[in-house]
Amino acid sequence: MNILFVGDVVGKVGRRLLNEQLRRAQVEAQADFTIVNVENASGGFGLTGAVWDEVSRLPIVDATRWAQIAIVLVAILWIIKVRGRAATRKERTWTTP
């Protein structure tokens, strides 16, 4: 599973770059799903309705203000994946990544 996490989109410039580059980044990362942190997408005014309408049209699974939660979940999934690979080795030992 490949997760593309886009951190802190800030203001109009960040939204423009997200709109222009997101699909290319998804293809390059072979992303199964995408999470975007948009808490600063309105240029320091939180997330306005107009900006939410703009961001919600993009091909993303979740636009979140809780980036820290998403980062922790991705880290946990990565650890599970790495440890799972270690468990399938010939000697069947667990290693720390």
Q: How far is CA 58 from CA 9, 19, 86, in A?
A: 13, 7, 37
Mean pLDDT score of the chain: 78
0.75 surpassed by pTM: no
37: nearest Cα among 75, 3, 70: 70
Whether 36 and 63 have beta carbons less than 8 Å apart is answered as yes
For the segment 34-65, what is each residue's pLDDT rounded down to a tens digit? 888 888 888 877 788 898 888 888 888 666 66
Query: Would you list the domain boundaries of the chain?
Result: 3-66
